[in-house]
Structure 1
Amino acid sequence: MNDANGVLPAAQPDLSDLFAGRGSLAARMQLGRAARKKVPRTRLAICKLKKRDPIALLEASNVGRVPELIPIRYGRMVANPFAFYRGAAALMAFDLAGLPRTDIIVQLCGDAHLANFGLFASPERRILFGPNDFDETLPGPFDWDVRRLAASFAIAARERGFAASDQRKLVRRLSETFRQRMAEFSKMDVLDLWYYQFSAASMLDIADSAGERKREALVVDKARLQSSRSVLDHAAVQVDGKYRIKENPPLVYHVPLATQRERRQYDDMIRRFFADYRLTLSDERRALFDRYELVDVAIRVVGVGSVGTRCYEALFMADGEWPLFLQLKEARTSVLENYLPRSQYANHGQRVVNGQRLLQSASDIFLGWSKMHHTGSDFYVRQLRDMKGAFDFASFDVEDLGAYAVSCGTALAHAMAKAGDPARMCGYLGKSDAFDAAIETFALAYAERNEADWSTLKAAVKAGRVAAIRE
């Protein structure tokens, strides 16, 4: 039937379809329990892996990286088994794809090892703790993130020389925390769950001893003081009255530009990049960004798994004296996309940004994305220095690492509960320790595989099959 203007009315949505799969808490938990029949929790313990050449997989992951930086990547990975693990997300994605997995899909961090958790600031300037690296984020089976995080604790504990029994206790504490917190989050009001923030203060409350609490408080205090303004003097120098990013080759350096034409082309490219980036910000943050003027850009080599990808830092100034450091980080195809449905986003920077916004309890106000049009490379943008902090888990004793496992388990459970269906995950996890036992078995077995792969890389470096630069 036409309306008064002769226009057919818009079709009304079928509310039963619109809300299909949401249902009551009990119904959604039952869906999770039903998922156990397809993949029993005990099957998550399986670590019988397909035969593969780890060097070939690593070399495949180097395609598109800056060639001269790849030896630095291998040099960092060969340092120890945990450093290798940090750079070997592609290997674990291959391995997980060949193992039993749940069909409960959630937005994954994609690289949820313990060094990819840390401190960051909310827009209200609260110090929060949670996952802080989303380069590989993609929807996938929730257990993949849990298994990657659990294996990282087993590897870190093994590297510290902790007994196998302690390794088991650490992983058990992590998985038990994850399961119990998911049960709590499944019963929360949806808005309360979305607003929930796991703060640094909450993390300090978990500390097992006064000594651990004091050490963690020092890291929190240091993060609180970290800002673009606080690091300006040692991160930049004044040249002819203008600030310029301080070089530290081969890790921080400016693109060599020989002619005036090259400089003009480079400047046009960067300004087009930021003009496109600006459009990905909300209106009020766009107004804030417009207060700043771009003064310098330099290449910056970061991380372990990210080494060889294109990464820049940009210095902006407001009123000629207030600095803002932004990081431009290349967003490549997620290593998970070889085994899971590909990203829905045309720009991988947008994939990273939206994954981060879904998973973090609060995100950087300058978080956005863009593209370098001359290369076609996707990037995401965030503040480089803004109340960020990381814990030196290499110095943790068993008790310290156990408390850290509780913090990481809590943070991961909240991230997944916020981005997915906590009731369905809770139904699958259950109340018994079946899930915990399976994750424990898997993590210790995978730690052995990781060490074997690390040894293979060392042998390849020694034989000259790959080049590695030790810094």
Structure 2
Amino acid sequence: MSSPAERAAQGKRARKHAPRSSHAPWIPGADRPDPVVVLERQGTDRLQDLLPIRYGRMAASPFAFLRGSAAVMAGDLAATTHTGLSVQLCGDAHLLNFGLFASPERALVFDLNDFDETHPGPFEWDVKRLAASIAVAARDNGHSDKQAHHAARASVTAYRTNMRRLAGLGELAVWYERIDAHALLPLVRSGRHRRRVEHTLAQATRRTSLHALGKLTETTPDGRRRIVHDPPLLEPAGVTDAATIRKMFGDYRSTLAEERRRLLDRYRFVDAARKVVGVGSVGTRCFIVLLAGRDADDPLFLQIKEATRSVVEEHIPYHGPYIHPGHRVVSGQRLLQATGDIFLGWMTGPQGRAFYWRQLRDMKGSADVACMPPDELLAYARLCGTALSRAHARSGDRIAIASYLGGADTFDRAIASFALRYADQTARDHATLRTAISAGLLMATPDT
């Protein structure tokens, strides 16, 4: 292991081939792929009947498009100068991939919460995606470009200052860092906004498997519980799919720690269904499973989600230590999150497809970004930047990154400028998608 001084020197050297100010420009190359072509290529191995839902959701707004177009932005980032300072990337660090969930100790925490695209890569790729998502969300909310720039820059400043703080801490101190959910409250000054945050925290606390039981299931005339039929978003698994899921369950169980296998063995299989989730994920194979423990009023909902190749992979020469995409997602989540889901695991399903398993609802909650006024979005941007730096500090060389970032705001200003320029690009790409839909080149259903 290199000394702290040697690691700091490495960060300084990275400025020579990637000056901090070099992150500001965004000029699409003449050979930049059509974004619609990128999305269509991504959809070739997805469930074709669900793709119109994906395109309909992405067409709703530039921010919705950004959420679903991680593959497009990964290609764009790969075309820019990068630092070579690698971390375990989230790979899709936009504003709505941060949120609330329960720790195993049942404390409510705030952290990254989506890892489908996690992969090693340059730390600034996540920072740029976060900042761009803030700028796009601000514009969608009717904020001025000055306010959008201010919020994007605030997220980067929070990232930089927290990374520099973490660089001075010991290894265990960094590993045990986490953000308590109630850290959200001091960020909000107005009483009305504070009440909304308090409501979000209270809602998250109630979002448990028992709460989901009332929302997602019904009782049959013979007294059995089953998952409701709400096509096309929620459809009960047929006999064949249910039998396959039962078989997959045993393989998934083997990836859990021994004490968690013991806990899982106390539950019995009740029902399963196909579920449509997210924006970018629509079309990938996803199921939910209802299990019962002590009795019918002791439920556990698990989600089975297909894991495909990360959008980062084709642009990074190093493919990481995980051949199995589900293992990649699970390991990335365990590395990046301060505290994790005890039921997180992976396995291989029919036709060699990779899947990972997690709890469907475990006090999960997210901010309503679309309702945020400028001051609230600014505070939330700072919180997300802080959370992202903590995740990167666990997986990358925090001392080298902190040294690269430095004490001045050069990097902050550069990324904020990039964010507004990329917001322009997102607006153009969103218009391209809508044009393709209007021309009948893509089928899209209204956002559901």
Which TM-score band (shorter chain)?
over 0.9
Give 2:326's aligned residue: 349
Ranges in structure 2 where 5+ consecutive residues have no aligned partner? none
Q: 1:278-328 CA distances to partner (integer Å, 9 max, x unpaired)? A: 011001111000000011110000000000000000000012321000000
Q: 1:375-424 CA distances to partner (integer Å, 9 max, x unpaired)? A: 21111110001100011110000000001011101100100011111111
Bigger drift between 410-419 and 232-241 goes to 232-241
Answer whether contact 1:96 1:144 (CA < 8 A) is retained.
Answer: yes
Aligned with 1:110: secondary structure? coil
Aligned-residue offset at 1:238 = 1.7
Aligned with 1:324: secondary structure? strand
Answer whether contact 1:236 1:244 (CA < 8 A) is retained.
Answer: yes
Give 2:403's aligned residue: 427
Out of 168, 171, 174, the position equivalent to 1:187 is 168
Q: How far apart in 2 are the matches of 1:274 and 1:106?
A: 32
Q: How far apart in 1 are the matches of 2:168 and 2:188?
A: 26
Q: 1:225-251 CA distances to partner (integer Å, 9 max, x unpaired)? A: 111012212211122222111121110
Give 2:273's aligned residue: 298
Does 1:74 find its partner at 2:51? no
Aligned partner of 2:305: which letter?
Answer: K
Aligned-residue offset at 1:212 = 2.4
Answer whether contact 1:337 1:343 (CA < 8 A) is retained.
Answer: no
Give 2:96's aligned residue: 115
Aligned-residue offset at 1:339 = 0.5
**How many residue pairs align between the two structures?**
442
> How many percent identity over aligned positions?
47
Give 2:256's aligned residue: 281
Answer whether contact 1:39 1:102 (CA < 8 A) is retained.
Answer: yes
In the superposition, relative to structure 1, how do residues 312 and 267 fare at CA in structure 2: closer, same or farther (>3 Å)? Answer: closer
Q: How far apart in 2 are the matches of 1:100 and 1:88?
A: 21
Out of 326, 332, 339, the position equivalent to 1:362 is 339
Aligned-residue offset at 1:31 = 1.1
Q: How large is the Cα RMSD of the aligned pairs?
A: 1.1
Answer whether contact 2:329 2:356 (CA < 8 A) is retained.
Answer: yes
Aligned-residue offset at 1:267 = 4.2
Give 2:110's aligned residue: 129
Aligned-residue offset at 1:252 = 0.1
Q: How far apart in 1 are the matches of 2:242 and 2:332?
A: 30
Give 1:260's aligned residue: none
Bigger drift between 192-201 and 146-155 goes to 192-201
Q: 1:250-284 CA distances to partner (integer Å, 9 max, x unpaired)? A: 1000234xxxxxx3x54442222010100110011
Does 1:31 find its partner at 2:10? yes
* Larger radius of gyration between Structure 1 and Structure 2: 1
Q: 1:418-468 CA distances to partner (integer Å, 9 max, x unpaired)? A: 111111110000011110111011000000000000000101000001110
Answer whether contact 1:136 1:334 (CA < 8 A) is retained.
Answer: yes
Aligned with 1:375: secondary structure? helix
Give 2:181's aligned residue: 200
Bigger drift between 51-60 and 341-350 goes to 341-350
Q: How far apart in 2 are the matches of 1:330 and 1:247?
A: 21
Answer whether contact 1:359 1:419 (CA < 8 A) is retained.
Answer: yes
Bigger drift between 447-456 and 163-172 goes to 163-172
Answer whether contact 1:46 1:100 (CA < 8 A) is retained.
Answer: no
When normalised by structure 1's length, the TM-score is: 0.92
Out of 53, 58, 64, the position equivalent to 2:45 is 64
Out of 231, 237, 242, the position equivalent to 2:224 is 242
Q: How far apart in 2 are the matches of 1:62 and 1:151?
A: 24
Give 2:355's aligned residue: 379
Q: How far apart in 1 are the matches of 2:55 and 2:402?
A: 39
Ranges in structure 1 where 5+ consecutive residues have no aligned partner? 1-18, 257-262
Answer whether contact 2:208 2:361 (CA < 8 A) is retained.
Answer: yes
Q: 1:118-169 CA distances to partner (integer Å, 9 max, x unpaired)? A: 0011000111111100000000000000000000000001111111111111
Q: 1:108-127 CA distances to partner (integer Å, 9 max, x unpaired)? A: 00000001110011000111
Q: How far apart in 2 are the matches of 1:243 and 1:297?
A: 11
Out of 218, 233, 239, the position equivalent to 1:251 is 233
Bigger drift between 316-325 and 445-454 goes to 316-325
Q: How far apart in 1 are the matches of 2:445 and 2:112?
A: 29
Q: How far apart in 2 are the matches of 1:301 and 1:343?
A: 29
When normalised by structure 2's length, the TM-score is: 0.97
In the superposition, relative to structure 1, how do residues 26 and 228 fare at CA in structure 2: closer, same or farther (>3 Å)? Answer: same
Q: How far apart in 2 are the matches of 1:201 and 1:271?
A: 39
Aligned partner of 2:179: which letter?
Answer: F
Answer whether contact 2:228 2:236 (CA < 8 A) is retained.
Answer: no
